[in-house]
Structure 1
């Protein structure tokens, strides 16, 4: 497995920014939008710890790979990932609100840095909460924190900021039955960059809806990268461990190598 493939799995989830709250007079449309958002959060999946086994398919113009990725989360504190092929561990990552650490065994290399450094380098805001939300099927940031408008498109509620960001355009699509997020889309027109995250199916975990399949597509000019995640098993509120240490002798990965 290439180091860039696993790093994309970790990072691409978080490559979306937030929107600022502005003050405005509430209208009938605003009230209806607020009710829709509250219905969404009433059905949110909640947990203390989460353990999942996933199958991840990665494809770009040069390669195609399928790996098993085990994910462990302690809510708001840690996200741990371990990727393996044929039962042999090839890479691990440990993400906290303050730090991103990752190593891959094939080439004996590792990366360590914080979200602020990554945000500055990639030119988009990143943080731990955004990654956590996307992994469990929630919007990249709290919809209660901004002003939005709702339209209907192809049987879904389309939620957008009343005023799009200067650099990024954000779109969220919610199904009307259980108010689940079906798609999140971020476009960066200036750089011909777009990110689509589609929750193509859901499953019940402890009586609550949780993603079953996530399809991620990144398009930069004509270069396309696709990451498909299938949750094979999910358990919540169980004891979890986060074994992680970078082996001695590994070479540090510089960010310009990940371009």
Structure 2
């Protein structure tokens, strides 16, 4: 689906069509600097409420067009309710410390820490990255000293944090993040993202469609895998009113 993929992944890896254009995000052309004071348009809010369709494909799971109710308390927590055939099948809450998932069909629950998930995918993950991917903001704060350059049809902002290199591809006209490439060194594991269907929402441009691809080499078996996530929002609201985040683990649920 994306360019410059790692060596061929395992056969249970899947892709979402259509593929993006063949030009590479990873190989920049010669670029010239633009106004260093240029600010990337960021979405600000207190609470976000959305009704969405989500598809998730990995070596272990295949979820197609699930109905998801999404609620976010900015910089604090993300709440998800997943429904299928008219009933809630799963619920999850993502906080700054962990992710808890309820499997309502099998009456089980799972708890994941970010270090655990980072080790599983061999890629550094944290709450701020997850939230930014969902709402379309920069995954790292913009530093005034960081230069923004012209790159084909985009403005390119390169950032680095520890072993992670981030390339933000920004629309020239609307100053919105359009594409994202995150590469972790020295593994070369990559996270790629493409935002589409921008719609005005409370004076902000909000991406109603996003495609996320994580290509990584497993730290346990050394094989290459691919995980894909597609989000299509049907309705999004930014509000000052707390929508509620009901979540509890029933006593009869077994921990996986």
- Could you say which TM-score interval applies, normalised by the shorter chain? 0.7 to 0.9
SS across alignment from 1:57: strand
Q: Which residue of 1 aligns with 2:108?
A: 109
Q: Which residue of 2 aligns with 1:249?
A: 252
1:159 to 157, 160, 168: 157
After superposition, give the CA deviation of every residue in 1:79-115 in whole Å (9 maximum; x if it has no partner).
Answer: 1111111221111111222332211123332122444
After superposition, give the CA deviation of every residue in 1:133-167 in whole Å (9 maximum; x if it has no partner).
Answer: 221110112112x8533332231011113xx5563
Q: Which residue of 2 aligns with 1:236?
A: 238
TM-score by length of 1: 0.73
CA contact (8 A) 2:189 2:215 kept: yes
SS across alignment from 1:32: coil
For the pair 1:194 / 2:190, whether they are aligned, the reply is: yes
Relative to structure 1, the CA distance from residue 244 to residue 165 in structure 2 (aligned partners, 3 Å threshold; closer, same or farther) is closer
Cα distance in 2, alignment partners of residues 64 and 246 from structure 1:
23
Q: Which has the higher helix share?
A: 1
TM-score by length of 2: 0.74
Relative to structure 1, the CA distance from residue 81 to residue 187 in structure 2 (aligned partners, 3 Å threshold; closer, same or farther) is same
CA contact (8 A) 2:193 2:212 kept: yes
SS across alignment from 1:129: helix
After superposition, give the CA deviation of every residue in 1:198-239 in whole Å (9 maximum; x if it has no partner).
Answer: 112211112321111001112235533221100100112134
For the pair 1:176 / 2:172, whether they are aligned, the reply is: yes
Q: How does 1:1-259 map to 2 (within 5 A)?
A: 32-33=35-36, 35-36=37-38, 38=39, 40=40, 43-60=41-58, 63=62, 65-115=64-114, 118-119=117-118, 124-144=123-143, 147-161=145-159, 164=160, 167-188=163-184, 190-220=186-216, 222-237=224-239, 238-253=241-256
Range 73-82 or range 228-237, more displaced: 73-82
Q: Which has the higher strand share?
A: 2
Q: Which residue of 1 aligns with 2:20?
A: none
* Unpaired stretches in structure 2, ≥5 consecutive residues: 1-31, 218-223
Cα distance in 2, alignment partners of residues 239 and 152 from structure 1:
40
Relative to structure 1, the CA distance from residue 110 to residue 189 in structure 2 (aligned partners, 3 Å threshold; closer, same or farther) is same
SS across alignment from 1:131: helix
Cα distance in 1, alignment partners of residues 122 and 93 from structure 2:
22
Range 235-244 or range 172-181, more displaced: 235-244
The CA RMSD measured in Å over matched residues stands at 2.6
Q: Which residue of 1 aligns with 2:23?
A: none
Cα distance in 1, alignment partners of residues 162 and 204 from structure 2:
36
Q: Which residue of 1 aligns with 2:24?
A: none
